[in-house]
Structure 1
Amino acid sequence: MTLKQAISLVLLACPPANVAMPAQATTLEEAVAAAMDHAPEIEAARADADAADARIREARGQGLPSATLSGMIGYGRLDPQGFFGLPAANVTPRAAQLTIEQPLYTGGRVSAGIAQARAGSKAARAGETMTRSQIVVATVQAYGEVLTTHRMVALYEQMVAQMEEIQRQARLRFKAGESPNTDVAQAAARLAEAQAALEGARSFAVSAQARFANLTGLTPQDLQPIPASPALPATLDEALDSARANNPALAQAEAALDAARAGARGARAERLPTIGAFAEGATVRDQFFPDYRSDAATFGVRARWQLFSGGRVSARITESDSAVKAADARVRVARAAVDEQTISAFQGVRSASLVETAATQQALAAAQARDSIRHEVRVGMRPQLDLLDAEREATAAAVNEAKAHSDRIVAAHRLLALIGR
């Protein structure tokens, strides 16, 4: 099997069988949009958020009226043993009861439950946002890696071709007695090095394309060049303010603290009584003697106050207070981490931009130097080893330039993920 056939098989195996494979993803924006639609992680995060919203409705329901209907029916024989002169008879005992209850006072249990559910929903939504940001960064990185490895393969193919030509010319000159066998050996060594680099680049290309296909469900064909960086904060202070207000990981930690505080209020509410209004209606037939009939209707107020719980309530309060302390500490840790990561990412964007500029200049200078040395070697002004070194340096500089383009856009999107944009 050839390498091209292996690449094709890998790419065909990566996307799910039920996903339609578009012909190409031409831009980075299209690739990101495809990843948003394709990623099962986002679907799972969205489902978690929907479940958290449902828990809010469930918590609200604890304070609303409830209606319960219960009933039974059977068949048997009842023998009163002559009591009241009643004979034995076959009976069909049956009963039904309808109860309606409305909580009037719960000591804060319901409001604490609603607050806890709302905090859980906020945490789930922040988790969904964080998942989306992670998918965006991963897609941008995969997109850049596909372009970078494609460029690497092309560069190393050119390098192999150049080394083969240099080796051929070295052999001709050696046969003509114009150069030593050392030139031939050096050319062969550099050719082998270039061939190894080419195979490594092809292997990286297969992995990059498989990663891209897995993230987006698209075949990585004819990808457009890396675009300009998206709009970013102009200053570090602006980036920090945005991260502190919008970072999803920090939002999750703060929501967890809100939930812990609500849980603590709910635990303390267990010490207080509950009061509720009720109305009941019941009907009974054939239960105590044949043809027995009874109907009843009752309404009133019920109260319940647990005076002794064996320490369970106090233990729960202690546990909830500890959970609040732990959640508060995690918020402080998250804030410090967000500040650190934002500072690093902001500096990373600037460094990536400077590295890209320097890499472009280096690639241009290395290519010019290689072309000059190629002419000088041709006229005998420089040894062949200089040309071998120049070819290698020019190729390495061009590879670094391709990587720098990708690193710049990835750094930008990492910063955007941190500041919640």
Structure 2
Amino acid sequence: MAACAVGAVAAQTARAETLMGAMRRAYDANPQLNASRAELRAIDEGVPQAQAGMRPRVTGDGYLGVQRNRLVTKQRDVNINDPTDTAITKNIQNGGSVPRSAHLTFEQPIFDGFKAQNETRAAESGVFAGRERLRLTEQRILFDAVTAYMNVLRDTAALKLQESNVAVLKEQLRQTRERYQYGQITLTDVAQVEARLAGGKSLAGAARATLDASIGVYRKTVGVEPTKLAPGAPIDRLLPKSREEAERIAQNEHPFILAALHDADVADLDIKALEADFMPKLSIVGDIFTQTDISGIGNRNVGAKVLGHLNVPIYEGGLTSSRVRQAKETAGQRRFDADVARAEILSLVRAYWGALQAAKTQISAAQTQIAAAERALYGIREEAKAGQRTTLEILIAQQELLYARIALVFAQRDRVVASYAVLAAIGRLSTASLDLDGFGYDPAVHFEQVKDLWGGTATP
């Protein structure tokens, strides 16, 4: 297992940040990952919501008010001795009351066409899909942490090489000017070194800007500023021995594929839940009530009843039929989505496996190139002392050596990142596989806490 050479530029102390440590920080504190965990906890609540369809429902109603009455009656009185003698008597009655009533209604579903059962199973499949998506987010955050870590190491090493090149060119310019003063070379040689020095300073400035950008990405992903980064190493011990084995593992374990399969299960169960609307529904309804001064002052009515409620759908305008057809088309789409997921993951595995093999080849080639460039530079400098080589040839040889060293830095970074990319492509980039000292968020804990709750608004 080759250690990343870019780590040589980092300070080697006992308190140096490691690649595993950076991943721990990202896993524990990355806000995007924490948001995904909260999203999954919200999805968990779909299970008790679906189970509520077959649980009893109790409601209470009450009325309380003030009633004023004014009763006016007129009466004609006839004198029995003289029927023509009549008189009208007017009676006025004023009164008030406090009308009030209370109802307590209880309903227990007995049969709902298996709607709640299928909705519960669909909600559970949705939870499983959410867990796979959380795994996918965790993989992406861990891989982003690896990439950010190695980019800082790579760009730090590249900056050091560019700054070293500037220092070499400054010394070479000083020596070239001395030789010009002694008449050993021409002013053209001085100008060539000056041009290379200016170009070297420009490249060093660009390398500094690239490093600053990488530090910013590291801060966003890991949550802290990079300080003393230890060398990074590839994760070959966790990788399959062949590309074919990697593809097989990915098809069976990658969270993107598993989430798509769970989504297809949800769609199938949604069809069954909607078809329940064609079936009769039976429930028991109970009612306890009391009424005072509702139908008249001084009247009171107290009672209770228990009824069986049967609801038989006959025709609802075609709404349910349309929803079932729609759900069937959605289920077909989800199955196609699973096929798309398999094809995408297969493509990723092949791409990252190829990138890993290419990085290994590039490291070997860059090491050979560096050794050859060092020998060539030494020989050209010795030959220049004898007047057989020009200043331009020395500068070209120095530049070739610089580019070879930078190529090695980039190849070693790519080697480490590609190994983690393959691990992510097969679905095994996780805290468990990396053994991150007991770190791990278990989504099943919250699910077990809420799945059978019958009430309460406090979150676990």
Normalised by the length of structure 2, the TM-score is 0.82
Partner of 2:139: 133
Structure 2 residue 217 is matched with structure 1 residue 211: yes
Deviation digits for residues 239-287 of structure 1 (CA, Å, limit 9, x no counterpart): 1222112211112211221111111112211111111122221111111
Q: Distance in 2 between matches of 1:25 and 1:268?
A: 61
Partner of 1:367: 374
Contact 1:78 1:289 in 2 (8 A): no
Structure 2 residue 153 is matched with structure 1 residue 147: yes
Q: Distance in 1 between matches of 2:397 and 2:118?
A: 72
Post-superposition shift, 1:147? 0.6
Q: Distance in 1 between matches of 2:320 and 2:263?
A: 22
Partner of 1:302: 309
**Aligned with residue 52 of structure 2, among 48, 61, 73:** 61
Partner of 1:186: 192
Q: Per the alignment, in what secondary structure is the counterpart of residue 54 of structure 2?
A: coil
* Residues 364, 76 of structure 1: alpha-carbon distance in 2 compared, 3 angstrom cutoff: farther
Partner of 1:269: 276
Structure 2 residue 57 is matched with structure 1 residue 50: no
Partner of 1:381: 388
Post-superposition shift, 1:205? 0.7
Q: Higher mean Cα deviation, 145-154 or 285-294?
A: 285-294
- Consecutive unaligned residues of structure 2, counting only runs of 5 or more, are 1-13, 74-90, 429-460
Q: Distance in 2 between matches of 1:387 and 1:129?
A: 54
Partner of 2:178: 172
Post-superposition shift, 1:219? 1.7
Structure 2 residue 16 is matched with structure 1 residue 36: no
Q: Distance in 2 between matches of 1:367 and 1:208?
A: 30
Q: Distance in 2 between matches of 1:217 and 1:240?
A: 33
Taking the TM superposition and a 5 Å limit, the aligned residue runs for 1:305-324 are 305-324=312-331
- Consecutive unaligned residues of structure 1, counting only runs of 5 or more, are 1-22
Structure 2 residue 418 is matched with structure 1 residue 411: yes
Q: Which amino acid aligns with 1:41?
A: Q
**Aligned with residue 232 of structure 2, among 222, 226, 234:** 226
**How many residues were matched structurally?**
397
Q: Which amino acid aligns with 2:58?
A: A
Post-superposition shift, 1:79? 5.2
* Residues 295, 220 of structure 1: alpha-carbon distance in 2 compared, 3 angstrom cutoff: same
Q: Distance in 1 between matches of 2:349 and 2:226?
A: 31
Deviation digits for residues 161-203 of structure 1 (CA, Å, limit 9, x no counterpart): 1112222222222222211222112112211111111011000
Structure 2 residue 175 is matched with structure 1 residue 200: no
Q: Distance in 2 between matches of 1:200 and 1:347?
A: 30
Contact 1:24 1:218 in 2 (8 A): no
Q: Distance in 2 between matches of 1:123 and 1:177?
A: 78
Taking the TM superposition and a 5 Å limit, the aligned residue runs for 1:35-114 are 35-78=26-69, 88-114=94-120
Post-superposition shift, 1:86? 12
Post-superposition shift, 1:30? 0.5
* Residues 86, 98 of structure 1: alpha-carbon distance in 2 compared, 3 angstrom cutoff: farther
**Aligned with residue 354 of structure 1, among 336, 350, 361:** 361
Partner of 2:4: none
Structure 2 residue 338 is matched with structure 1 residue 331: yes
Q: Distance in 2 between matches of 1:29 and 1:295?
A: 72
Contact 1:75 1:93 in 2 (8 A): yes
Post-superposition shift, 1:380? 3.0
Partner of 2:454: none
Contact 1:24 1:221 in 2 (8 A): no
**Aligned with residue 287 of structure 2, among 263, 274, 280:** 280
Structure 2 residue 350 is matched with structure 1 residue 343: yes
* Residues 246, 166 of structure 1: alpha-carbon distance in 2 compared, 3 angstrom cutoff: same
* Residues 255, 262 of structure 1: alpha-carbon distance in 2 compared, 3 angstrom cutoff: same
Q: Distance in 2 between matches of 1:112 and 1:181?
A: 88
Q: Higher mean Cα deviation, 145-154 or 69-78?
A: 69-78
Deviation digits for residues 319-369 of structure 1 (CA, Å, limit 9, x no counterpart): 111111111111111111111111222222222222223223323332333
The runs of 4+ residues in structure 1 deviating greater than 6 Å are none
* Residues 392, 291 of structure 1: alpha-carbon distance in 2 compared, 3 angstrom cutoff: same
Q: Distance in 2 between matches of 1:297 and 1:79?
A: 33
Deviation digits for residues 115-149 of structure 1 (CA, Å, limit 9, x no counterpart): 22112212211111111111111111111110111
Q: Per the alignment, in what secondary structure is the counterpart of residue 95 of structure 1?
A: strand
Deviation digits for residues 89-121 of structure 1 (CA, Å, limit 9, x no counterpart): 322121111122111111121122112211221
Greater radius of gyration (CA): 2
